[in-house]
Chains A and B, each alone.
Chain A
Amino acid sequence: MFPQGVTPRAAAANDQQMESCLQENIVSQQPFADLDRWMERYQQADPEAPAALVGALSPALLRFFRSQVASREQADDLLQETWLRIHRVRHTYRPGEPVLPWIYAIARRVRVDGYRRTRRITLHETTMELLPERPVPAEARNRVPAFETLVAALPDAQREVVTMLKVGGLTLEEVARATSSTVGAVKQKAHRAYERLRKLLPIQADGTAKEAAQ
């Protein structure tokens, strides 16, 4: 019934934890603790596993998508697609391997496909009326640019790395695995991203100061 190493008591505690995530939508590192066990149970068709995994990973995945795409609707669609794809290829997870790079590699691919599809659609769209004015961003008040505003100026590859590191909470090794890259390449991208962000900061700050003054 329970995967090797999971006692019924521990599993019950996990169930409660995952259930609370599902209820309250809390994002913390805690739900990631036993992901590999839940993945094994998912492969064994344990009916509780999908809810536990969806509850534990969806908030972080949604944040990952939200920092990469423009709208919440798109992020929701991408999240849904990611779970469909995870379900389809769940046999490719090898027990004992880290789960997060496996999940983020799939999520990353879904994002790329989603971006290509959206771009194809928007190329054929004509804007008929002006978009509603965007609310003043939070950074206009405290002069610190928000994460997504800041990373929006980065090239795709750098933005992806910084987002996985800072939003997904992945390690360099996990980001390297998720992006089919090497740890060295990830470090280099992150370093370039931070340098670039630093150069952008005064401009951002001035821009937000002007907005605040208006």
Chain B
Amino acid sequence: MNCHDVDRTLSQGLPLPLQAEEHAGTCNRCQQLLSALNSPVPVDPLSPAALRKIAESLADNLRPVRPLAPARYFVGAFVGIFVSIVALSVYRLGAFAIAVMTPLQTTAILSTLAIGTGLLVYSLVNQMVPGSRHRIPPALLAVGITILVAMVMAVLFQVQQEGNFWGNALFCIQAGTLVGALAALPFWLVLRRGAILSPRMTGAAAGLLAGLAGTSVLEIHCPNLDAWHILLSHLGVAILCALAGIATGLTVEIRGRRSIHRSSSEYGAH
């Protein structure tokens, strides 16, 4: 047993085995580290009056609340909204891309979008409840899904010569962003049932999910199979919506910070 093993045992959150304690007995650094880590943080005790003041302020406006519904209801709500918006938009715009894509392209791109959607929904539902278990950190997930979709698009579609590249791109971005905006509103209504601790991160995830609704509609509707067109204007919709989500989250964060500061000043004055 050496210092490295002691570090490893400590980081596993396990009690130190006998060998580690024996090592610490002979190693000055380990002894110091363990003593420092186990030393209590000196804090003057809170006065019972201060604690009582906090407790009374909470008890003053105490009303029964119904705990948040189980996660599966929210998963159902998000998936239902996503599918409804995509179905309605495709019904309105038409499914021209399905006719020109190969079965492999259709299956691969729609499966990737479905996987990305599923993972984002799972992450968003967890983000609504503080202290939830995350299999993948939310920040990594949003970036990972964007990269995954981009890679699948780049592999499946080829670069083709196109006459009116920017005109077509603008049309798709407009249509996709509109679908994203339509999806974002009901997503926000579901999200506000929970406690959003990091509005920027949740905004990015919700924006990306709404954007993926737009991207899905474009993948089913747009018969243009040029790789650059798909990457810029179809995936671009998802990225634009994610950026809009971050901006919205930032605004909410700043407003929330001000309102908390105000309530706490009022509490102090009270």
Does A145 contact B32, Cβ atoms closer than 8 Å? Answer: yes
Give the residue name and chain of the B residue nearest to A55 (CB).
B51
Does A113 contact B257, Cβ atoms closer than 8 Å? Answer: yes
CB < 8 Å neighbour of B39 from A79, A102, A105, A146: A146
A85 CB to nearest chain B CB (Å): 7
Mark out the residues of chain A between 142 and 167 whose CB falls within 8 Å of any chain B CB in the assembled complex: 143-148, 150, 162, 165-167
**Is the C-beta of A214 less than 8 angstroms from some C-beta in chain B?**
no
Does A44 contact B45, Cβ atoms closer than 8 Å? Answer: no
Given A54-B58, A92-B129, check contact A201 B29 (CB 8 Å). Answer: yes
For A143, what are the chain B residues with a Cβ–Cβ distance below 8 Å?
A: 32
B6 CB to nearest chain A CB (Å): 8
Which stretch, A5-13, A125-133, A178-186, touches the partner chain B? A178-186
Q: List 26 A-B contacts (CB under 8 A).
A: A25-B48, A45-B62, A51-B51, A54-B55, A55-B51, A59-B46, A72-B44, A75-B43, A84-B260, A84-B263, A92-B195, A94-B67, A95-B67, A117-B257, A144-B35, A146-B42, A162-B37, A165-B13, A172-B12, A177-B134, A178-B131, A180-B127, A182-B137, A190-B10, A191-B8, A198-B33
CB < 8 Å neighbour of B197 from A91, A105, A117: A105
- Count contacts on B: residues with CB < 8 A to the other chain: 68
Does A22 contact B264, Cβ atoms closer than 8 Å? Answer: no
Closest 10 interchain pairs by CB?
A: A101-B131, A89-B195, A105-B130, A191-B11, A102-B131, A50-B58, A190-B11, A25-B45, A91-B65, A51-B55
A10 CB to nearest chain B CB (Å): 21
Does A81 contact B129, Cβ atoms closer than 8 Å? Answer: no
For A141, what are the chain B residues with a Cβ–Cβ distance below 8 Å?
A: none
A41 CB to nearest chain B CB (Å): 10
**Is the C-beta of B99 less than 8 angstroms from some C-beta in chain A?**
no
- Size class of the contact patch on chain A: 35 or more
A44 and B191 CA atoms in complex are apart in Å by 23
Mark out the residues of chain B between 233 and 270 whose CB falls within 8 Å of any chain A CB in the assembled complex: 253, 256-257, 260-261, 263-264, 267-268
B49 CB to nearest chain A CB (Å): 10
Does B130 contact A89, Cβ atoms closer than 8 Å? Answer: yes
**Is the C-beta of B163 less than 8 angstroms from some C-beta in chain A?**
no
A147 and B40 CA atoms in complex are apart in Å by 7
**Besides the known contacts A94-B70, A201-B33, 5 further A-B residue pairs in the complex with CB atoms under 8 A apart:** A25-B46, A51-B51, A101-B130, A102-B129, A143-B32
Interface 0/1 of B37-69, CB less than 8 Å to A: 111111111101011101111110011111110
Interface 0/1 of A54-69, CB less than 8 Å to B: 1100110011001100
**Is the C-beta of B136 less than 8 angstroms from some C-beta in chain A?**
yes
Does A45 contact B63, Cβ atoms closer than 8 Å? Answer: yes
Chain B contacts to A: CB under 8 angstroms: 3, 7-8, 10-13, 29-30, 32-33, 35-46, 48, 50-52, 54-59, 62-68, 70, 126-138, 194-195, 197-198, 201, 253, 256-257, 260-261, 263-264, 267-268
For B253, what are the chain A residues with a Cβ–Cβ distance below 8 Å?
A: 113
For A77, what are the chain B residues with a Cβ–Cβ distance below 8 Å?
A: 264
Give the residue name and chain of the A residue nearest to B139 (CB).
A180
Does B46 contact A176, Cβ atoms closer than 8 Å? Answer: no
